[in-house]
């Protein structure tokens, strides 16, 4: 976990989401009236937003499980025949449990939960976890989405430590997920086109890390059925390890490692 409290422009008494209030109490967030930090959160009208000051602009993102892209993918995403669902085995094994060890903004996890999966989301960075917790808190008020949120378990933790606990504990082995899903950051090429706003923010907060290779190795030892790794379509396999097979998509592919 990062040692310096992440600034939140708010007052603790204004926070209606218990998870965010707890992060403030634990010292992961620091409630301030204003800040000069490059990255910060704002909590206004019971909504959490992440801001990144970059050159002459400020990029702002939030997580919404109710409307926008989440609503569209929930209603028109293609069901269990879509590449992500097939890679995770939901077309043939709908009862498999899934652990998303790199939750980020929770987009793929929400799709899997909307298809009926019980999924655990692990996110280490407090700001990203805060966005997820805030979105889940607000989504519980909507009847159609609340059932999806009930299938999503949000955990603020280091994914490597969490998986090691499952892998090396005899008691926890029975609780290990059937599928572990990884969407590791990919090194950004300077010559490539300008990346999307959300990816710019994510790269600023967490960036590419060799730790993700360690996470992959641990996941292979922990998942009961398979590990699924999301990769750019033309990228080499993670850790140069050849997958059992891959499921292709338009711009990405899902490498499947069967236990």
Q: 223 in helix, strand or coil?
A: coil
Identify the pLDDT of residue 1.
Answer: 40
Identify the pLDDT of residue 193.
Answer: 47
Partners of residue 134 on adjacent β-strands? none
pLDDT tens for each residue of 11-25: 656 677 788 778 878
Nearest to 43 by CA among 133, 124, 157, 149: 133
Identify the pLDDT of residue 3.
Answer: 47
In angstroms, the Cα distances linking 165 to 130, 157, 171, 221 are 24, 12, 10, 12
Identify the pLDDT of residue 83.
Answer: 94
Give the DSSP per-residue string, 108-123. Answer: HHHHHHHTT--EEEEE
pTM score:
0.88
- Interhelix angle 18-25/126-139, rounded to 10 degrees, is 150
Q: Give 122: exposed, middle or buried? Use CB within 10 Å, 0-12, 13-18, 19+.
A: buried
Q: How far apart are CA 115 and CA 78, in angstroms?
A: 10
- Regarding the domain delimited by 64-258, which CATH topology (the fold level of the hierarchy) does it fall under? Rossmann fold (3.40.50)
Q: How far apart are CA 146 and CA 66, in angstroms?
A: 9
Q: How far apart are CA 35 and CA 53, in angstroms?
A: 11
Identify the pLDDT of residue 195.
Answer: 60
Residues of the chain whose pLDDT is less than 50?
1-3, 171, 191-193
**Tally: H helices and E strands in the chain:** 10, 12
Q: How far apart are CA 105 and CA 198, in angstroms?
A: 9
Contact between 114 and 147 (Cβ < 8 Å): no
Q: How far apart are CA 22 and CA 96, in angstroms?
A: 31
């Amino acid at each position: 976990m990062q040692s310096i409290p992440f600034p939140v422009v708010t007052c603790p008494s204004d926070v209606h989401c218990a998870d965010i209030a707890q992060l403030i109490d634990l010292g992961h967030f620091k409630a301030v009236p204003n800040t000069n930090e490059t990255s910060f959160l704002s909590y206004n009208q019971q909504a959490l937003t992440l801001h990144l000051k970059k050159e002459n602009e400020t990029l702002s993102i939030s997580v919404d499980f109710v409307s926008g892209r989440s609503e569209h993918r929930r209603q028109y995403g293609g069901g269990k025949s879509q590449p992500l669902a097939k890679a995770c085995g939901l077309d043939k094994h709908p009862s498999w449990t899934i652990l998303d060890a790199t939750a980020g903004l929770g987009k793929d996890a929400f799709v899997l939960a909307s298809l009926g999966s019980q999924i655990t989301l692990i996110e280490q960075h407090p700001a990203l976890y805060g966005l997820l917790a805030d979105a889940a808190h607000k989504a519980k008020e909507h009847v159609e989405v609340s059932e999806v949120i009930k299938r999503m378990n949000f955990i603020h933790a280091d994914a490597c430590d969490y998986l090691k606990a499952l892998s090396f504990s005899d008691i926890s082995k029975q609780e290990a997920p059937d599928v572990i899903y990884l969407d590791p950051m990919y090194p950004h090429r300077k010559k490539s086109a300008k990346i999307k706003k959300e990816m710019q923010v994510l790269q600023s907060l967490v960036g590419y890390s060799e730790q993700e290779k360690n996470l992959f190795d641990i996941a292979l030892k922990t998942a009961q059925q398979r590990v699924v790794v999301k990769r750019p379509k033309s990228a080499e396999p993670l850790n140069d390890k050849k997958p059992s097979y891959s499921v292709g998509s338009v711009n990405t592919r899902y490498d499947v490692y069967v236990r």
